[in-house]
């Protein structure tokens, strides 16, 4: 039997296995070598479960791919890929042997147009490498159907790379120059050129093992021309084994010539590794008697220590007592929440503490969460509701809670609260990705922080860092183009400024009017720039929209990160619009002037989960030309925020932030000033309280 004949044997065995009584795996689709839902190399129409985050690392000699794919919504997914291609494959006309890999970055988008039903297949439209060099670019329309519990089938139409073998027609002219301008979407090429059929089957051999067979429409023209692949057959086959915890191992036979392997790691931010968490349970609510409720005699001779007892009760839950205004029927509590990522959980713990400590006649609770002296909102509830609804659904309690602006609310501040001093010593990890010479660079070090707060709304803060080990400083500084080197000289800050002062600032925060928040900061604002920064934010508590304005006058710091400055000085600032779309999705547009003097806008779309996880994507377009910007053409990237509490199972607002930026250039560079208002303010506004209210009783 020839090279094209062996798949028939597999199909015959597969037909027998269809009747085998094995339960299909219910943990989402397989992932192809491109890191998207697929078979071996070809995509399928299936979508991953909502919020699945998959990282794939795989390939074969001369073709290595690492892909991060996030199921943004039940129908939309996005992927970021970093592929290393043999130099002969990347440039087939090289004409000489080479073992060097050339790294190529690409983005994908997939839309599930129609979900699968009992009679209809799942139909997906995809754009692969939509804004890269074009080496991997293709578009496809694909349908997949689960025929039985153990067998699914896929058939699709592909363009670009997926239309390069055995085409069945054409839909116009497509450029043959695959090395496009990196970072610029080639709209005029989408769904143009030769179109070809692809397809395959998947077989669930057991609960953990899945087999796949596909007919590939990818000719691998560059790899063949470069002598890296001998494409003997269009058929590929794969075998996948799924371990516990979301890890998968796949082995594939490609085109009768290569054996590929892939590791896949799948997680879902909505599912914590430790079910239920490990944080301590809240104290139960103490129900009052009717006689105690009516007794207000305590006001004639107030018992000492009520405020101290409430501060101690809050401290048990990691909340910080700020002040208390107490009357016979109402209490106003100001507190800070340095612990809980879900704002409603902090409100629930504070309400329980008030119900246990305050005199029984106090019926109305006003909770005022505070950050850096800013009263973020006034959350009003009745004590009797806390008693009656403790063991009922959280939504029932939420319906009885009012969230209002706090500008007119009483502003009690404990006499002993300020001045206050705090400090910490902690390790840090600083990463750098996608350098063509070394894809992953990182530094490990120690950061010493300190903060002095003379009053509730003023703060003097600083940090010193010392690098212990790493290679991030070895990144070559590429100052090509005509833009000032506002970011590309960062290796000099890491070498000359070790140890160095990361920041040293004095800041003041205020509420000049209802719905208005303000910040002023002066000092060494970040590692590379110092100066003056001012910000004002309009954000009503019950509105999903926020508008902010920030202005900065800054000068570039000396490389030693001490107190000196260089000559470069610039005025930068942005007008920002923020919108919460609900269900954890919000968008942000920042329009204005950047550090290099270029002007434009940054567009950000983020999905945030109640446990603190956040996945966001951004793109910045300015009037700097692609030539001035350099490799990548414009700034874009993916940001991951992974909360410590998700891993440890205990409430903690700290997080590990991962910046997957293809390349850091000077264009579109924004000042990294601390304490920007919108992330601080929105936490205790109506939308965030509603989204997290399921944790009110936790």
Query: pLDDT per residue over 530-583, tens digit each?
Result: 999 999 999 999 999 999 999 999 999 999 999 999 999 999 999 999 999 988
Q: Is residue 99 in some structural domain?
A: yes
pLDDT at 153: 97
Residue 227 to residue 89: CA distance in whole angstroms: 8
Q: Is residue 272 in some structural domain?
A: no
Q: Is residue 274 in some structural domain?
A: no
Residue 274 to residue 280: CA distance in whole angstroms: 14
Q: Is residue 381 in some structural domain?
A: yes
pLDDT at 625: 83
Report the number of distinct structural domains present in the chain: 3
Q: How far apart are the first and last CA of the chain?
A: 65
On the question of pLDDT at 81 being above 50, the answer is: yes
Residue 256 and residue 308 in one domain: no
pLDDT at 225: 84
Mean pLDDT (the chain, rounded): 89
By CB neighbour count within 10 A (0-12 exposed, 13-18 middle, 19+ buried), where does 236 fall? Answer: buried
pLDDT band of residue 93 (cuts 50, 70, 90) is low
Domain final residue pick, 211, 235, 267:
267
Residue 561 and residue 656 in one domain: yes
Residue 666 and residue 594 in one domain: yes
Q: Is residue 357 in some structural domain?
A: yes
Residue 464 and residue 594 in one domain: yes
pLDDT band of residue 11 (cuts 50, 70, 90) is very low
On the question of pLDDT at 174 being above 90, the answer is: no
Q: Is residue 277 in some structural domain?
A: no
Least confident of 242-251, 306-315, 402-411, 429-438: 429-438
| Percent of the chain whose predicted confidence (pLDDT) is above 70 | 91
pLDDT band of residue 671 (cuts 50, 70, 90) is very high
Query: pLDDT per residue over 445-491, tens digit each?
Result: 999 999 999 999 999 999 999 999 998 888 888 777 789 999 999 99
On the question of pLDDT at 315 being above 50, the answer is: yes
pLDDT at 67: 94
pLDDT band of residue 287 (cuts 50, 70, 90) is very high
Helices (H) and strands (E) in the chain, counts: 13, 32
pLDDT at 134: 74
Residue 354 to residue 309: CA distance in whole angstroms: 10
CATH of the domain at 406: 3.30.300
Residue 229 CA to its chain's centroid (Å): 37
Residue 591 and residue 623 in one domain: yes
The answer for 442, left when phi > 0, alpha when psi is -120 to 50, beta otherwise, is beta
Residue 690 to residue 674: CA distance in whole angstroms: 27
Average pLDDT for residues 136-152, to the nearest whole number?
95
Residue 383 and residue 513 in one domain: no
| Upper half-sphere CA count for residue 6 (Cβ side, 13 Å) | 12
The 10 Å Cβ neighbour count of residue 548 is 22
Q: Is residue 429 in some structural domain?
A: no
On the question of pLDDT at 5 being above 50, the answer is: no
Question: Is 131 or 498 the better-scoring residue by pLDDT?
Answer: 498
CATH of the domain at 668: 2.40.160
Strand 364-371 versus strand 330-336 pairing type: parallel
Q: Is residue 492 in some structural domain?
A: yes
42: nearest Cα among 168, 155, 174, 137: 155
pLDDT at 7: 40
pLDDT band of residue 227 (cuts 50, 70, 90) is confident
Query: pLDDT per residue over 621-638, tens digit each?
Result: 999 887 777 665 667 888
Residue 336 and residue 447 in one domain: no
Residue 338 and residue 248 in one domain: no
Residue 46 and residue 107 in one domain: yes
pLDDT at 91: 72
Residue 442 and residue 393 in one domain: no
The answer for 649, left when phi > 0, alpha when psi is -120 to 50, beta otherwise, is left
Domain final residue pick, 235, 267, 299:
267
CATH of the domain at 71: 2.40.160.40
* DSSP string for residues in 306-318: HHHHHHHHHHHTT
Secondary structure, 3-state, 476-529: CCCCCCCCCCCCCCHHHHHHHCCCEEEEEEEEEEEEEECCEEEEEEEEECCCCE
Domain that holds residue 15: 6-267
Residue 234 and residue 99 in one domain: yes
* DSSP string for residues in 232-275: --SEEEEEEEE-GGGEEEEEEEETTTEEEEEEEEEE-TTS-SST
Residue 137 and residue 192 in one domain: yes
pLDDT band of residue 171 (cuts 50, 70, 90) is very high
pLDDT at 22: 32
């Amino acid at each position: 039997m020839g090279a094209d004949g062996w798949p028939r044997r597999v199909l015959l065995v597969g037909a027998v296995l269809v009747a085998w009584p094995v339960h299909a795996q219910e943990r989402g689709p397989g992932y192809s070598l491109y890191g998207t839902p697929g078979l071996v190399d070809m995509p399928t129409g299936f979508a991953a479960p909502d919020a699945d985050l998959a990282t794939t690392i795989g390939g074969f000699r001369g073709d290595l791919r690492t892909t991060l794919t996030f199921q943004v919504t039940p129908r939309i997914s996005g992927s970021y890929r970093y592929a290393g291609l043999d130099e002969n494959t990347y440039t087939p006309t090289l004409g000489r042997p080479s073992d060097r890999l050339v790294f190529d970055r690409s983005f994908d988008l997939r839309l599930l147009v129609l979900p699968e039903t009992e009679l209809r297949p799942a139909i997906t439209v995809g754009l692969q490498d939509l804004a890269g060099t074009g080496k991997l670019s293709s578009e496809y329309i694909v349908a997949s159907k689960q025929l039985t519990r153990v067998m699914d089938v896929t058939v699709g139409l592909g363009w670009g790379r997926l239309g390069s073998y055995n085409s069945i027609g054409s839909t116009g002219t497509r450029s043959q120059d695959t090395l496009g301008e990196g970072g610029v979407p080639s709209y005029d090429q989408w769904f143009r050129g030769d179109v070809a059929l692809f397809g395959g089957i998947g077989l669930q051999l057991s609960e953990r093992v899945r087999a796949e067979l596909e007919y590939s429409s990818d000719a691998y023209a560059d790899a063949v021309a470069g002598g890296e692949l001998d494409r003997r057959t269009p058929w590929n086959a794969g075998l996948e084994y799924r371990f516990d915890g979301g890890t998968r191992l796949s082995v594939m036979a490609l085109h009768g010539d290569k054996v590929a392997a892939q590791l896949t790691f799948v997680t879902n931010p909505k599912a914590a590794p430790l079910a239920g968490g490990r944080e301590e349970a809240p104290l139960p609510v103490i129900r009052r008697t009717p006689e105690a409720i009516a007794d207000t005699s305590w006001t004639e001779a107030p018992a000492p220590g009520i405020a101290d007892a409430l501060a101690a009760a809050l401290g048990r839950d990691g909340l910080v007592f700020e002040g208390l205004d107490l009357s016979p029927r109402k209490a106003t509590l100001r507190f800070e929440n340095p612990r809980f990522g879900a704002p409603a959980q902090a409100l629930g713990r504070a309400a329980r503490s008030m119900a246990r400590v305050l005199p029984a006649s106090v019926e109305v609770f006003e909770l005022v969460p505070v950050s850096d002296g800013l009263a973020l909102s006034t959350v009003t509830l009745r004590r009797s509701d806390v008693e009656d609804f403790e063991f009922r659904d959280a939504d029932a309690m939420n319906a009885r809670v009012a969230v209002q602006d706090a500008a007119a609310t009483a502003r009690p501040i404990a006499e002993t609260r300020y001045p206050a001093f705090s400090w910490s010593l902690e390790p840090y990890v600083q990463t750098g990705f996608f350098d063509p010479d070394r894809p992953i660079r990182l530094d490990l070090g120690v950061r010493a922080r300190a903060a002095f707060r003379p009053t509730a709304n003023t703060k003097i803060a600083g940090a010193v860092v010392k690098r212990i080990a790493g290679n991030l400083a070895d990144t070559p500084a590429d100052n090509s183009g005509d833009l000032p080197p506002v970011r590309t000289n960062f290796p000099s800050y890491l070498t000359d400024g070790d140890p160095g002062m990361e920041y040293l600032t004095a800041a003041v925060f205020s509420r000049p009017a209802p719905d208005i928040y303000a910040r002023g900061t002066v000092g060494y604002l970040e590692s590379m720039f110092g100066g003056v920064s001012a910000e004002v934010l309009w954000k009503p508590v019950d509105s999903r929209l926020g508008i902010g304005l920030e202005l900065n006058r800054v000068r570039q710091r000396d490389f030693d990160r001490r107190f000196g400055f260089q000559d470069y000085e610039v005025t930068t600032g942005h007008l920002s619009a923020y919108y919460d779309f609900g269900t954890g999705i919000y968008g942000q547009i920042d329009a204005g002037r950047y550090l290099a003097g270029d002007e434009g806008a940054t567009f950000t779309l983020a999905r945030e989960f109640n446990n603190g996880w956040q996945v966001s994507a951004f793109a910045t377009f300015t009037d700097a030309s692609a030539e001035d910007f350099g490799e990548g053409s414009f700034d874009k990237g993916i940001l991951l925020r992974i909360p410590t509490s998700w891993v440890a199972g205990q409430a903690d607002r700290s997080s590990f932030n991962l910046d997957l930026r293809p390349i850091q250039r000077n264009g579109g560079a924004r000042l990294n000033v601390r304490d920007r208002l919108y992330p601080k303010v929105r936490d205790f506004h109506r939308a965030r309280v509603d989204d997290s209210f399921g944790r009110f009783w936790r």
